[in-house]
A = this chain, B = another copy of it.
Amino acid sequence: MLSVAVAGASGYAGGELLRLLIGHPEVSIGAVTAASSAGDPLARHQPHLTPLADRILAPTTAGTLAGHDVVFLALPHGASAAMAGDLADDVTVIDCGADFRLSDPQAWQQFYGSEHAGTWAYGLPELLVEGRTKQRVQLAGQSHIAVPGCYPTACSLALAPAFAAGLASSDVVIVAASGTSGAGKSLKPHLLGAEVMGSMSPYGVGGGHRHTPEIDQNLSRAAGVPVAVSFTPTLAPMPRGILATCSAKLAHGVTAESVRAAYQQAYDEEAFVHLLPEGAWPSTGAVLGSNNVQVQVAVDERVGRLIVVAAEDNLTKGTAGGAVQCLNLARGFDETLGLPVTGVAP
């Protein structure tokens, strides 16, 4: 049994990590830590985690995190880099934050406005990368892993097969809708229930959203050439879920059949990424609470575009499920160990 600590245990990502770890047969949950909520009973912040009802949140410090085999970081943006440096080298550290996701320091500086902390192995096992392989080969046995952002997970898995097979050429346009848990527990006026229910609105419009360079990075690796996307996120009136509608210009002569074949080849063997039967379309509700991603493809011949829609749970596969999947790879467990493969529907 591995001893595991979760830093940022009072937030949505931390809560989802704990929910999954409670059910993981090879893990024993050690310290659960927080910043301003340190000292509170965990139950006050995560009333749904009954098995951990008696836990008290410890402060997030190197001291409380020490002594564990694995440390998950689910901290506010920018806090991972500082904390990671204080952890022992032989600890498996899996970061749900953005700090170590990008390999290009300039892209980091441009979008995050701070100094690049470094690059860890990128935690998206199903991503098609260089050499017609998948990213998982680079995750096996890793000690430091950066879990992808929620949007990049869905958008990259949606488009990578087409780029890897040379079927899509350029001009990527993505519009994604996310449930509000993606914004975390920050108390902001626009996140009040009365504001979000019954309404939809966009944000981060115009290319400045921080997940943009991450999607670029992933698709560029899949394609073998630089790819720059147009990405627009929107806030949807639901607690969880991301529906990513992704589009790219088709290379000349590409048919619907060749597209479907590429996606079948890419995902038929995958435990969590599912190309749906023809005629069935993804829905975030079908994957709620699971580590699954539903994908479907269509070709718009009139305008020569590929449309791919992907649905995931932003907290599960988009954050904590992705993190646990990486833990399994890092530690040599079956990649699917402890991960839900059924959505909670309706």
Chain A positions near chain B (C-beta within 8 angstroms): 12, 15, 19, 22-23, 41, 43-44, 46-51, 53, 171, 173, 175, 177, 179-181, 183, 185, 187-189, 191-203, 205-207, 228-230, 232, 234, 236-241, 243, 245, 247, 249, 274, 276-277, 280-290, 292, 294, 296, 298-303, 305, 307, 309, 311, 315, 341-346
> Judging by beta carbons under 8 Å apart, are A287 and B243 in contact?
no
Name the B residues within 8 Å of A41 (CB-CB). 277
Q: How far is the CB of A185 from chain B (nearest CB, A)?
A: 7
Mind listing 7 A-B residue pairs with CB under 8 Å?
A47-B276, A47-B343, A177-B234, A181-B194, A196-B197, A202-B245, A234-B243
> Judging by beta carbons under 8 Å apart, are A203 and B281 in contact?
yes
Known interface pairs A50-B342, A195-B285, A237-B237; 16 further A-B residue pairs with C-beta atoms within 8 A, sorted by A's residue number: A12-B346, A48-B343, A175-B245, A177-B234, A180-B197, A191-B192, A192-B192, A193-B239, A194-B239, A195-B346, A200-B285, A201-B243, A202-B245, A205-B307, A207-B302, A234-B245
Name the B residues within 8 Å of A287 (CB-CB). 48
Q: Report if A281-B202 is in contact (Cβ < 8 Å); known contacts: A191-B193, A192-B192, A193-B192.
A: yes
Q: Nearest residue in B to A292 (C-beta to C-beta)?
A: B50
- Report how far A17 CA is from B233 CA in the complex, Å: 33
- Report how far A2 CA is from B51 CA in the complex, Å: 28
- Report how far A182 CA is from B13 CA in the complex, Å: 29
Contact of A197 among B238, B305, B343 (CB under 8 A): B238
Q: How far is the CB of A309 from chain B (nearest CB, A)?
A: 5
> Judging by beta carbons under 8 Å apart, are B342 and A307 in contact?
no
Name the B residues within 8 Å of A181 (CB-CB). 194, 346
Most buried by B among A12, A198, A241, A305: A198
Name the B residues within 8 Å of A311 (CB-CB). 200-201
Q: How far is the CB of A83 from chain B (nearest CB, A)?
A: 24
> Judging by beta carbons under 8 Å apart, are B205 and A180 in contact?
no
Q: How far is the CB of A190 from chain B (nearest CB, A)?
A: 9
Name the B residues within 8 Å of A282 (CB-CB). 201-202
- Report how far A309 CA is from B233 CA in the complex, Å: 11
- Report how far A328 CA is from B20 CA in the complex, Å: 23
Q: How far is the CB of A5 from chain B (nearest CB, A)?
A: 19
> Judging by beta carbons under 8 Å apart, are A192 and B207 in contact?
no
- Report how far A173 CA is from B185 CA in the complex, Å: 33
